[in-house]
């Protein structure tokens, strides 16, 4: 939510956007991201993982209502030039393994965030705030 | 296209707003990205002699690279550097879901 941070352009941006890229090469300019963009992107990426609280599509901050599986995970990011360190608060569906789920969260975020924002993830701190019981019938996956 | 030193803030604002990857313009944390014209203000576009700054709200799942390329393509060539600030992301409530139909 604080200072904007400089993000370098990935040099290999391919397909089709030649006009924009060309203009950028002639007269370079910076692209900056607010921390909030990284936080929302990470929270959204977490919804792609099964057994993590926050599988329903809600915007970060709207966490006071609804069962855990429908809330968003809370993410705060501290973004440095080209890297991001994340602090994640999430809940996990009860029978799922906490160790393997958090491992999955880390590997998913370190893969997805660079894809979406161009930032490298240096650290993911995870706080598991609750183990929730998946409601039979409502939270079932496939 | 620019003529001389003048750059039309309204044209840039309209072009950026029409970009698919952009959900809207963003004036920055303190509303500092703005152009003041007689009687009104174009928020999200700041034109200075040395550079142009555009603040946008991205539209998830567009990546930062997509947003950047889309905005720069929409604005077209300028006679000074174009800085882009992504101040927020707009996330659709009903995105593709791995869960089954509710």
Q: What is the pLDDT of residues B17-54, one digit of tens each?
A: 999 999 999 998 899 999 999 999 999 999 999 999 99
Contact A37 B83 (CB under 8 A): no
Q: What is the pLDDT of residue A133?
A: 78
Q: Out of A17, A29, A115, whose CB is closest to B83? A: A29
Q: Out of B69, B85, B91, whose CB is closest to A17? A: B69
| Consecutive H or E run containing A84 | strand A83-93
Q: What is the pLDDT of residue A58?
A: 46
- The enclosing domain of A63 has a CATH number of 3.30.70.1350
- Region B58-80: mean pLDDT is 91
- Does the residue A22 lie in any domain? no
- Does the residue A18 lie in any domain? no
- Does the residue A98 lie in any domain? yes
pLDDT at B87 over 90: yes
Q: What residues of chain B lie within 8 A of the CB of A27, using their CB?
A: 77-82
**Nearest to B60, CA basis, from A107, A116, A55:** A116
Rounded Cα distance between A36 and A43, Å, is: 10
Q: What is the pLDDT of residue B54?
A: 95
How many domains is chain A built from?
1
What parts of chain A have a pLDDT lower than 70?
A: 1-27, 54-71, 134-142
Optimal mutation site among A15, A37, A84, A117, interface B, most CBs of chain B within 10 A? A37
Give the residue numbers spanning the domain of A55.
Answer: 33-132
Contact B63 A117 (CB under 8 A): yes
CATH 3.40.50 describes domain B9-90: no
- Does the residue A11 lie in any domain? no
Q: What residues of chain A lie within 8 A of the CB of B92, using their CB?
A: 57
Q: What is the pLDDT of residue A9?
A: 44
Closest alpha carbon within chain B to A11: B65
Which comes out higher in pLDDT, residue A69 or B97? A69
Judge contact between A41 and B60, C-beta under 8 A. yes
């Amino acid at each position: 939510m604080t200072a904007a941070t400089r993000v370098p352009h990935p040099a290999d941006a391919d397909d089709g956007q030649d006009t924009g890229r060309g203009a950028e090469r002639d007269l370079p300019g910076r692209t900056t991201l607010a921390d909030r963009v990284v936080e929302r992107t990470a929270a959204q990426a977490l919804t792609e993982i099964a057994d993590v609280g926050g599988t329903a599509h809600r915007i970060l901050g709207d966490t006071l209502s609804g069962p855990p599986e429908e809330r968003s995970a809370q993410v705060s990011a501290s973004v440095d030039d080209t890297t991001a360190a994340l602090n994640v608060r999430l809940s996990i569906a009860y029978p799922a393994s906490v160790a393997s789920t958090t491992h999955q969260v880390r590997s998913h975020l370190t893969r997805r965030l660079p894809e979406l924002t161009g930032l490298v993830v240096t650290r993911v701190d995870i706080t598991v705030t609750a183990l929730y019981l998946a409601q039979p019938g409502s939270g079932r996956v496939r | 296209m620019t003529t001389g030193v003048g750059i039309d803030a309204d044209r840039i604002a309209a072009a950026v707003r029409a970009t698919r990857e952009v959900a809207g313009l963003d004036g920055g944390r303190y509303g500092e990205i703005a152009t003041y014209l007689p009687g009104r203000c174009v928020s999200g576009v700041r034109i200075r002699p040395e550079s142009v700054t555009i603040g946008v709200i991205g539209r998830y799942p567009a990546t930062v690279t997509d947003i950047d390329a889309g905005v720069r393509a929409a604005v077209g060539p300028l006679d000074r550097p174009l800085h882009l600030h992504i101040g927020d992301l707009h996330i659709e409530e009903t995105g593709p879901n791995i869960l089954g139909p509710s």
